[in-house]
């Protein structure tokens, strides 16, 4: 009787929203807050749009007006404002992705959107990870305009939090190098070189992990190999 009540309590804490759909929407349209709107967090979804698109539109109009009205001309300050808006929206977007893949993202009712880990009795649980190979493949997709992999989201899904935070720090440093011209006298060439080195380093690290994943040699935080596809490929490709 106690076991049945416990299972019921766990089910009540889980959202009806499907994990795969939420993740897919977040990967494709999350920068505009569509994943939040999908789980009925409409207000925060609109805020995402404001920071990612609204501020850019505002700065564009500001830039046009500065050509005709001197009181609107503040030099390059409006570009700095646009950068801050994009940076803030990126931070919240990455935070949401981390929460989604680690099973901590909640819908409007406060219920967790989480993927149930599948276990096969015929497999050796000491060697095989319950994680989904398809999700790892999607999170490490390169060469298709998808920059999520470079932020190390797949590492958070696999439980490698320290390495994942390292990727995020390297990306944040790239952002600061972009705006360093506003604060210090540094040549554009040096800024480009720094950003190129950081991004190229991350790219090759992700490429190496992608190779391990495809060869079914990638391991989760417990040292178990991720080698089984547990989700329909429809959601991710």
CB 102 within 8 A of CB 161: no
Burial 196-231 (b: 16+ CB within 10 A, else e): eebeeebeebbeebbeebeeeebbbeeebbbbbebb
Tell me: the pLDDT tens digits for 75-122? 666 666 777 777 788 888 899 999 999 989 988 888 898 876 555 544
How is the chain split into domains, by residue range? 1-115, 122-237
Query: How do the residues of the chain divide into helix, strand and coil, expressed in percent and rounded to 5?
Result: 65, 5, 35
Q: What is the chain's length?
A: 237
Tell me: the pLDDT tens digits for 4-57? 434 444 567 788 888 888 988 888 888 888 899 999 898 988 888 777 776 677
> 3-state secondary structure string, 52-104?
HHHHHHHHHHHHHHHHHCHHHCCCCHHHHHHHHHHHHHHHHHHHHHHHHHCCC
Confidence tier at 165 by pLDDT (50, 70, 90): very high
* Report field, pTM of the whole predicted structure over 0.75: yes
């Amino acid at each position: 009787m106690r076991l049945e009540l416990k299972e019921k309590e766990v089910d009540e804490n889980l959202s009806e929203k499907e994990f795969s759909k939420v993740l897919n929407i977040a990967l494709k349209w999350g920068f505009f807050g569509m994943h939040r709107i999908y789980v009925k967090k409409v207000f925060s979804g609109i805020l995402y749009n404001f920071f990612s698109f609204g501020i850019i539109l505002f700065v564009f109009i500001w830039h046009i007006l500065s050509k005709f009205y001197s009181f609107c001309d503040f030099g390059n300050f409006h570009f700095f404002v646009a950068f801050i808006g994009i940076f803030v929206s990126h931070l919240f977007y990455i935070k949401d992705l981390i929460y989604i893949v680690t099973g901590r993202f909640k819908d409007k009712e406060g219920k967790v959107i989480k993927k149930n880990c599948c276990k096969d009795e015929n497999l050796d649980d000491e060697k095989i990870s319950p994680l989904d190979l398809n999700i790892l493949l999607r999170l490490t997709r390169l060469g298709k305009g998808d920059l999520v992999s470079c932020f190390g989201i797949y590492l958070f899904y696999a439980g490698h939090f320290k390495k994942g935070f390292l990727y995020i720090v390297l990306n944040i440093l790239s952002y600061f190098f972009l705006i360093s011209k506003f604060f210090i006298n540094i040549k554009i060439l040096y800024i480009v070189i720094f950003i190129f080195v950081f991004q190229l380093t991350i790219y090759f690290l992700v490429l190496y992990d992608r190779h391990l994943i495809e060869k079914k040699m990638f391991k989760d935080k417990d040292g178990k190999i991720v080698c089984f596809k547990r989700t329909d490929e429809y959601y991710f490709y």
